[in-house]
Amino acid sequence: MKELKDYSGEFRGDIRLEDFSKDTLLRLLYATARQYLGIDAVWNSVVKEKFGGHIARDLEMEVWRRATSTEVLRTMGAMNIQGDDIAALLKVLQCAPGTAGIMDLDCEMRGKNHGILTVKRCSSLEYFERHGDIEGIRFACQQLETEVGYPETAHAVNPKIEVTPLKRPPRQSKDEIACQWEFKLET
């Protein structure tokens, strides 16, 4: 059977993802990745409206703290990522639902135990910038990513990986990178 480029035709009761072309599945993956972070944003807004910003931030930190290791393990399993080194961590970041299709990443190995992640484009940062949401940038891009996001992701791969932010928003120009992170594994 010919691979489908979309689902615009008649309804099929036996349709499977395997029936769609690679390009179609990529479009679906990217839409799913955007929805993944979109649900988080809606959840945060609802909690903020009902209980206030401080509680919303605290709960957001705790939700990501609890969820990140599962996200990492599922990504590693789905992509058959082996190991507990910097290369494995960078592979996870290239494929995880919170980054794949959401961020334009540049991953560089500077040695077996040293890597640099450069986020060239981040849709979350661009959203905050478009809406002039400096508090959103401070929370999501500085506090959440520094205390939970990248450290919890790295530690799910290997608790010995050290994470250092090299550049974080706010940025002076949209031509700048969104952020940059260094990962080191002390042996």
Helix (H, G, I), strand (E, B) or coil at 32: helix
Interaxial angle between packed helices 86-95 and 150-157, expressed in degrees from 0 to 180 and rounded to the nearest 10: 130
In whole angstroms, give the CA distance from residue 38 to residue 55.
19
Q: Which residues pair with 107 in a beta bridge?
A: 117
For residue 186, the model assigns a pLDDT of 86
What is the CB neighbour count within 10 angstroms for residue 57? Answer: 19
Q: Which residues pair with 111 in a beta bridge?
A: 114
Q: Could you read off the pLDDT of 38-92 as tens digits, one per residue?
A: 898 899 899 999 999 999 999 999 999 999 999 999 999 999 999 999 999 999 9
For residue 67, the model assigns a pLDDT of 92
How is domain 17-185 classified at the CATH fold level?
Muramoyl-pentapeptide Carboxypeptidase; domain 2 (3.30.1380)
Sequence-distant (≥ 6) Cβ neighbours of residue 27 within 8 angstroms: none
Residues of the chain with pLDDT under 70: 1
Average per-residue pLDDT for the chain:
93
- Our measurement of the distance from residue 91's CA atom to the centroid of its chain's CA atoms, rounded to an integer in Å, reads 12
For residue 69, the model assigns a pLDDT of 94
Would the pTM of this model clear 0.85, i.e. be above it?
Answer: yes
